[in-house]
Amino acid sequence: MVKFVDQQLTQLRNEVYRMWTMVYNQMDQARQAVLGLDRNIAQQIWVRERLVDAQDIKIDTQVEDFIALYTPVAVDLRFVLAMLKINNDLERIGDYAYSIARFVKETTVQSLDAGLIEKLQLERMFAVVLEMMNELQNALMDENPAKASSVIDMDDELDRLKAASDSILMDYAKGHLDELPVAMGLGSIFRKLERTGDHLTNIAEEIVFYIDAKVLKHNPKKEPEAK
């Protein structure tokens, strides 16, 4: 029985890793789609969204079945609950990548103002998000709570970049009224990337809780996001 339970937990972990890779690729391609205004890449993200949704449901079902069959306690219970919550956060991040792709698909402009993109540091915003995702996956694989905790601090840079983008986009819109929809769309992308950082912070806290039974989320940095 113990060996079978361990196999079930390993399978669940592997499914979460698969979800993680899928969502990471979605966000990385969202970066490519926006920076290159590449509608073909954006379309690929839309097509793969169904696979992300299916994987989300698969993991939720596995967790529910495991709890119902084995009534886990202690570290096993912390693990399956952490996997459930991490999966939910990853699904939301996948939704943000999908929404970013929608901007690329629907915008009527043929190219973005290179000077504006550089000033906004949009490429850096994506880079921080992807680095956080990569570091957190490594932290989970290595069962390294210190690495997971260190990623939380990276969210501060996302907050700074988002705050700076507001005034930059406002000034740009005032001088380019015909590109107001683009400015609004870019503003929406920054909000989604900032919220992605919030979900990654949640994931970091769940990893620490699973490994160390520490509950960091009782000391939140931000107000909870309304879904």
pLDDT tens by residue, 64-105? 999 999 999 888 999 999 999 999 999 999 999 999 999 999
Spatial neighbors of 53 by CB under 8 A, at least 6 apart, are 91, 94
pLDDT at 3: 81
Does the pLDDT value for residue 176 go beyond 90?
yes
Closest CA to 189 of 117, 135, 133, 137: 117
Q: How far apart are CA 139 and CA 184, in angstroms?
A: 36
Confidence of residue 164 (pLDDT cuts 50, 70, 90): very high
Confidence of residue 227 (pLDDT cuts 50, 70, 90): very low
Question: Taking each helix axis from N to C terminus, what angle separates 39-70 and 2-35, rounded to the nearest 10 degrees?
Answer: 160
